[in-house]
A and B are shown apart, each in its own frame.
Chain A
Amino acid sequence: MNVDGGTDRADGIAASRLSAADLARNFTDLHPPYAPHEAAVAADRCYFCHDAPCVTACPTEIDIPMFIRQIQTGNPLGAAQTIFDQNILGGMCARVCPTETLCEQSCVRETAEQRPVEIGRLQRFATDAAMKTGTHPYRRAAATGKTVAIVGAGPAGLACAHRLAMLGHDVVIHEAREKAGGLNEYGIAAYKAPHDFAQAEVDWLLSIGGIAIETDSVLGRTITLEGLQQAYDAVFLGMGLGGVNGLPVDGSDLPGVEDAVDFIAALRQAKDLSALAVGRNVVVIGGGMTAIDAAVQSKLLGAETVTLAYRRSRADMGASPFEQDLAASKGVHLMFNVQPLAIRGNGRAQEIVLARTETRDGRLAATGETVTLAADQVFRAIGQTLAGLPDGLKVEAGKIAVTGPGRTGIAGIWAGGDCTAGGEDLTVTSVAQGRDAAMDIHATLTGR
């Protein structure tokens, strides 16, 4: 056990590397909520642009200038409604959206001053105010008598369910895990949504009524697509990506070599962070958001060294410059143009050999040079895959192929979110796809 400010440097993978106070500090809100005066000052910077670029950049097309103007005029609940009308998970998106590559990147203030209006934090200010009222802002339309099955209670499924419930349909969500929320609950870095926000948001969303969630209900195991088609008027598939890519190198079966998504999920579900073990020397393989989240959180848990090893250049990295800077600021060492060659150790991972790479004629090639790093724990974060895909669905690039608002080509079956091809794998994109599929399902079921 450690005193405040100290780090336990025990070799291997160990818990309690930091004191409880340090852990609490490390895992507090990445972007703390605005105080009212801060919100007023931030909102005041919005120019209320015409046909605003920020709206175009938002996958859910929230009317951003309008909600900010509503904050300006002392109407945060109206602002929240403007947000929720387009994005019922606006609270989570305010926390996890990579705004630096979406709305805030396109803000005209970014062009003018390299300092955009802080849209994400303003969105949080409004949505927090609304959720604090303890009431749900929408009511259900008259019952249509139609039922819809949704597979997966992640952002796509929840957004689809809420819109359908609002339109008067009855919805049952089949969720494979123990809790609803999908990646919001299991896959987002803890410091982005502390205080169990994901579950609070799910509860708030469900309070519209008309949505039942069946947990531990797994497609292909406890339920089948045919069964759902027979029992419901429509089916929406939003099961996300359940599989992970393997790391085909020697030693990848050693203890200490783990999937980053499992580590992140365990961290999110941990009741006590000091009980969570982390390596003294951690190496994360990958270059996306999952890799960053695993690396940063390893550091925040008290790992002495954390290296993020990415096989291509910085410019190719999936994680945004903001996320890269965040990792660097927490003490994560970012290495580019290295790929794993082997993991070695006596009965457990102890070091990793990385091969230097370069791009030759447009192809990645090893230079022949290697570098060896101490590594008690190696996280694989090299992409997720669609697992348990039912037969009959058209596949494109390993994901469900859809056209328009999530149509799979099979009548009565829609899909959206990370399990479908097209669009970035972001919470906000999933919300948009779930919502749009719901509108199309509604139109189909009601013959409009």
Chain B
Amino acid sequence: MADLTTDFLGIRSPNPFWLASAPPTDKEYNVRRAFEAGWGGVVWKTLGEAGPPVVNVNGPRYGVIHGADRRVLGINNIELITDRPLETNLEEIARVKADYPDRAIVVSLMVPCEEEAWKAILPRVAETGADGIELNFGCPHGMSERGMGAAVGQVPEYIEMVTRWCKQYYDKPVIVKLTPNITDIRHPARAAHAGGADAVSLINTVSSITSVNLDTFSPEPSIDGKGSHGGYCGPAVKPIALNMVAEIARDPRTAGLPISGIGGVTTWRDAAEFMALGCGNVQICTAAMTYGFRIVQEMIDGLSRWMDSKGFEKTTDFIGRAVSNVTDWQYLNLNYIAKARIDQEACIKCGRCYAACEDTSHQAISMSADRVFEVKDDECVACNLCIDVCPVENCITMERLAPGTVDPRTGTVVESDYANWTTHPNNPAATAAE
């Protein structure tokens, strides 16, 4: 049986599944339930400065995007950081950590961009015995209007500055949580790295309006007829998160910087994908908020069995294994030539591939009077759209043309050598292959 134990920045946890800083980790009650359910760690919901806590809206704070059958695809929220007193949270953190020494507890923090503010809160967090801190530079709503959260995460200089203060006044690992609401995720990651961060975690939520009520003309979630943008999360944001994780993982300037992956992790597969792209662990929120804490058991069992099936004994055996396969477009092999193949036995004759190809792509599928759909090799560019829209798994597949055969579309012989855009004759900037 595979060993799921992870050591992230020296913080050990029995599995790589941590609950992200969010409503599920706002209280001792929830966190104890989470640990009993089997979660490997939690990032405690963001603490603010001592004094009167923030107040939340008293109307809806979540909006949702449903798929068919009301499946939750994405949730957005306008909840702020913890609205409970700092002292209460600190006492609870200390108690829970003492009772669960084998689980990870990292404390998320968000205080104003002033050295004194950070200097004040860090020792108090240290006293709880928590394993580390996560700097919330990500929340895009509410707190950002007050110069915190994403407002910091969008300014690399602030990230570096605050990170440096934290490393100065706090002994344990410092994780910097990044906002995706920027143009190039590598810049904030580099800033965190420069400030001495032990790791980055990403993504925080994406600025969003989930929908507009067409009767009241209010955005949702609506508070007394008005709405404010919230932070979007859940399965819908996973592709965005995977890309941002990969960008940091393969950036030479942040090479080796540990990453905690966040963004739509719902099943063991999602977790394995984030980890293959370089994440030392994953953080989860929406899936738990949708289905409850028990889902971690599916993740633990699924990941463990997959590792067994691949011969991976520990998580480090596969963490980062996909990173080297992420490359720039210009390095993709242009001599890799494929054609779609339709399995006529499996085809149910819905015609979706035909509609997609004929109307929107390359007119590379023919349709007979008796609804037989066939690929025209002389038109097919292997775009994959037919596969994407086909309702039958593996009915349409891509088959690589063997080197030496003629591509009927171009009339040229398929080359066996790898060749990319940088050397292509059509590229004005091409350097001649020698």
Q: Measuring CB to CB, which residues of chain A are less than 8 angstroms from any residue of chain B?
A: 36-37, 44-45, 48, 50, 65-66, 69-70, 72-75, 77-78, 81-82
Contact = CB atoms under 8 A, between A and B. Distances in A.
Q: Which 9 A-B pairs have the closest CB atoms?
A: A73-B267, A78-B301, A75-B302, A48-B291, A69-B298, A73-B302, A78-B305, A50-B292, A70-B298
A74 B269 contact: yes
A29 to B, nearest CB: 22
Contacts of B292: 48, 50
A75 B268 contact: yes
Interface in B276-317: 291-292, 294-295, 297-298, 301-302, 305-306
A77 B393 CA distance: 20
Nearest to B346: A37
Interface in B388-402: 392-393
Interface residues of B, number: 16
Given A45-B69, A75-B268, A70 B393 contact: no
A44 B67 CA distance: 12
A44 B71 CA distance: 9
Given A48-B292, A72-B267, A82-B301, 11 more contacts: A36-B393, A50-B292, A65-B294, A69-B298, A73-B269, A74-B269, A75-B268, A75-B298, A75-B301, A75-B306, A81-B301
Nearest to B301: A78
Contacts of B69: 44-45
Nearest to B71: A44
A68 B173 CA distance: 39
A73 B291 CA distance: 14
Q: Is the interface of B mostly helix, strand, loop or mixed?
A: helix
A78 B309 CA distance: 12
Interface string B67-85: 0010000000000000000
A82 B294 CA distance: 13
Contacts, number: 40
Nearest to A68: B298
A66 B298 CA distance: 7
Contacts of A69: 295, 298
B392 A37 contact: yes
A81 B301 CA distance: 10
Contacts of A66: 294, 297-298
Contacts of A65: 294
A134 to B, nearest CB: 16
19 contacts: A36-B393, A37-B393, A48-B291, A48-B295, A69-B295, A70-B298, A72-B267, A73-B267, A73-B268, A73-B302, A75-B302, A75-B305, A75-B306, A77-B305, A78-B298, A78-B301, A78-B302, A81-B301, A82-B301
Interface string B102-114: 0000000000000
B213 to A, nearest CB: 25
Interface string B327-366: 0000000000000000000000000000000000000000
Nearest to B68: A44
A73 B235 CA distance: 14
A74 B273 CA distance: 14
Contacts of B305: 75, 77-78
Which of B292, B298, B301, B305 counts the most chain A CB atoms within 10 A? B298
A269 to B, nearest CB: 38
B32 to A, nearest CB: 17
A73 B267 CA distance: 7
Contacts of A44: 69
A78 B269 CA distance: 14
A75 B268 CA distance: 10
A330 to B, nearest CB: 30
Contact of B301 (A37, A50, A70, A72): A70
A383 B294 CA distance: 43
Contact of B302 (A45, A48, A70): A70
Contacts of B393: 36-37
A75 B292 CA distance: 20
Contacts of A77: 305
Nearest to A50: B292
Nearest to B266: A73
Contacts of B295: 48, 69
A72 B269 CA distance: 11
Given A48-B291, A50-B292, A73 B298 contact: yes
Contacts of B268: 73, 75
Contacts of B297: 66
B265 to A, nearest CB: 12
A72 B306 CA distance: 14
B289 to A, nearest CB: 13
B78 to A, nearest CB: 26
Nearest to B70: A47
Contacts of B302: 70, 73-75, 78
Nearest to B290: A48
A77 B301 CA distance: 10
Contacts of A36: 393
A392 B268 CA distance: 55
Interface string B379-409: 0000000000000110000000000000000
A82 B69 CA distance: 26
Contacts of B269: 73-74
Nearest to B309: A77
Nearest to A73: B267
A75 to B, nearest CB: 5
Nearest to A37: B393
A281 to B, nearest CB: 45
B389 to A, nearest CB: 16
Contacts of A74: 269, 302
B16 to A, nearest CB: 16
Contacts of A37: 392-393
Contacts of A82: 301
